[in-house]
Amino acid sequence: MERRSILVPHDFTTVADNAVSYAINLASRLSANVDLLHVVKDSKEAASAKSKFEKIIEKIGTSPDGVEVRPHVKIGTIYTDIASKASELHSTLIIMGTHGAKGMQKLFGSFAIKVITSTHVPFLVVQEQFTGIDMSKIVVPIDETQESLQIEQVATGLAEILKSEIHVISEKKIDSNLKLKLAVHSGLFTKQLKAKNLPYQTKILERKKGFAADIVAYTTSVNANLIAFAYHSDSLFPQFDSFAQSLITNKEGVPVLVLNSKEAGNYFF
């Protein structure tokens, strides 16, 4: 069987190396290879990038369980070529390291969310001080929208492979219609988890500091190390989506997996 591909955009920083380590560990459990990508402006920069990749590959040495680490240098722009390379490689997952909110701003400017959601491939963000690679518990926030359920296939697929427990969480609603929609969505999600015989918990969070902050607080309270959610903003200016950005760059350093619900459609795991 052909091995999966995990794509890691690499800017030759320490946090990018963290993402590589994270990817290699996960790849060994997913029967995948790791593809490193550095995007340059012109051919002059390409030669230097290739030389740096050679040193990185040499430093990594022998990867576990047959994981092959393959470098790629592409002339273009990060705003489109991360997505195009993932499509070319039929990548299962994209994993990127970032220095929190300021690092995202520095790397992508105000278009961080646009880059992360430029692809139909699930995009996992690992911060410099990430909380660990244990994925025995995955926190999956959902809301009253149908789009939020798009994360179900990705989360359950990962959980099946990694033997994870899924925590389906939602925000407490006062409106009776919203309550009903959330109950229906939670029921649909847990029905799938039961069908796959996966362990799970459900939790309705009392609003304290805002849904994003409350999600992170819950995640750390149960010692989970991955948050997975579907991004489905209708904003014409994705950079203003404070919920998604604050969740992705959470101060606790919890890795976050994002799926663009509008682009979703393929089953990855």
Residues of the chain with CATH 3.40.50.620: 4-98, 137-260
CA angle 188, 194, 138 (to 5 degrees): 80
- Domain 4-98 sits in which CATH superfamily? HUPs (3.40.50.620)
The DSSP output letter for 146 is: G
- pLDDT over threshold 80, residue 49: yes
Residue 264: the pLDDT is 56
Options 3.40.630.20, 3.40.50.620, 3.30.70.270, 3.90.550.10; CATH for 137-260 is 3.40.50.620
C-alpha distances (whole Å) from 248 to each of 49, 56, 157 are 28, 26, 21
By the 8 A CB rule, do 124 and 30 touch?
no
Identify the band that residue 109 occupies on the pLDDT scale cut at 50, 70 and 90: very low
Q: Regarding predicted confidence, which is higher, 100 or 195?
A: 195
CA distance 29 to 21: 13
- Please state the three-class secondary structure of 208-265 as a single string: CCCHHHHHHHHHHHCCCCCEEEEECCCCCCHHHCHHHHHHHCCCCCCCEEEEECCCCC
Query: What digits encode the pLDDT tens for the residues 166-225?
Result: 999 999 999 999 999 999 999 999 999 999 999 999 999 998 999 999 999 999 999 999
Concatenating the DSSP letter of every residue in 75-144 gives: ES-HHHHHHHHHHHHT-SEEEEEE-HHHHHHHHHGGGHHHHHTSSSS-EEEEETT---S--SEEEEE--S
Helix and strand totals (H; E) in the chain: 9, 10
